[in-house]
Chain A
């Protein structure tokens, strides 16, 4: 008997009586301002939120923060700072010297400051992780309150097979519980809300 058959047979023998699968409420809330909550939560998780005013230029504002960035890539028409063309990069290892990736956020979740990044918007899945710093451009109206609403918007079949929620920069507290920002992935994360 194959292990597959054996395991399935054992489960059949040992499993309890069928328990019902609950239907899930979406726990909506009308008493919170999504934008304010998103910004506060992002700060709490070590990221920066910048709400762009009408008289501000996004390129200028990004450059102010990331003036040291040499290699810059972008996947959005909102900015024109990219100086590294991803079109001909076939091997993700060639992304290793990227300093800043400016990426379009599909939508944001106010309760935990997570931004949904599906692979179909990325030239390479490695991009948000291998870059030293990351900027997300997120349209203000694309905020939902919680994860229940978020998953209603996601169909993984339309993502090229991968998608990630990113909430703040990479971090670790593995050395004596001291929080260090910038573990393996991005050293900083800024969300521009436009």
Chain B
């Protein structure tokens, strides 16, 4: 099996992430040169030139949010694929995004716009709690039972979402749809997202070597000294937290959490010490890039980034799948 050195891959991904940020900060309907962007980033507000507000208050927080969401989803997907020992698992496979969407939509329906974010976060955690509560058998969570429970719970959320959409006033439905497909135009907590990403990644890396062994089955991992129960629980909590934060920031952006871990694994292998940070960089870079395209492609209109990731993600994933069966 030929591979590039992992440090080289990580360096390339880091450069790609920086490039995506540069693209996000310079592209847009207001033409701001590279020099002006750099000035806006490093100068204080008093002696900054034109475009300071656009760069610092619009583009930078949005790029940060996009990077955080992409990184969190890629990391959550990586963890879920290991825990379920299934390369087709993604952050939403246990129904978490449905719970978040239900929470957000219910808040929108009730006219409590300020409560949308906390309601989405609460919905995501509630869904996780329901799935883990129901799938628990004799103290352990078998991947198959978790998956089945998750799929069924997700179907339940889907029905609730449809119910809310059909009963909601016409004027609200459009905003609700944007939430469901994943959209960063309203994302304003980029800094908090990046902090959450750094925190989750640091804790995940603590368990990275154990996670690599868990991919080989609970039995093998346990015989090699992994505390299977504690590690599994911690990793599930991390993945749920990462996904809940991402969904709360941007709605259910699809495919990043599925395709990125899979694609990056083809390059760096399944050693989680490398796969986790590489997936975070690649996912963050991809979503920052995609979101910038989404807001500039048909400007002044903005596409929801979830549409773009799905349009790119579906064929890419089908190609990966065909490649792997050969």
A joins B in a complex = no
Which residues of A come within 8 Å of B, CB atoms?
none
Which residues of B come within 8 Å of A, CB atoms?
none
